Copies of this chain bind each other. A is one copy, B any other.
Amino acid sequence: MADVLYLDDLQVGDTFTTASHALDVDQVTAFASQFDPQPFHLDDAQARQSIFGGLAASGWHTAAITMRLLVTSGPRLAGGIVGAAGQVAWKVPTRPTDILHVESDVVEITPSRSRPDRGMVVLRSRTLNQHDAVVQEMTATLMVPRRPS
């Protein structure tokens, strides 16, 4: 098992690829029932009449699965994956038959001026389905500790 990564261990351009997560109808409707109870996330017949043209996962479900994949099989950042902010864009619907994985790259590293024990890392993550279509793009600003001296 690799050691955890401190800010000092990261470089712009570093890439990470996670394991995969297979969705199904039960997961899609369970998440939607709890957090996004709209017909196109709950019922295939109604979803077919909607802008999605069929059952689609909540975008927040896609975001949550992306987080799970990053936490469980993405970059092993010291201190964990702690986000201060993020931009999320949903490009095509996530479907109940999708098998998702995440590909990330480091786009910016900024040591903190006021807090010498840490810095901010901008990590760009694309969530792809089994057809390599990008269902979500996310750019997150993460807090990463510096290696203790």
- B51 contacts A82, C-beta separation under 8 Å: yes
- Per-residue CB contact flags for chain A residues 76-92 toward chain B (1 = under 8 Å, else 0) read 00011111111111100
- A18 within 8 A of partner (CB): no
Number of copies: 2
How many residues on the A side are at the interface (Cβ–Cβ under 8 A)?
A: 33
Complex contacts, A71 vs chain B, CB 8 Å = 36-38
Which B residue's beta carbon lies closest to that of A59?
B83
Complex contacts, A83 vs chain B, CB 8 Å = 59, 90
Complex contacts, A60 vs chain B, CB 8 Å = 60, 63-64, 67
Residues of A within 8 A of B (CB): 31, 34-40, 50-51, 58-60, 63-65, 67-68, 71-72, 79-90, 143
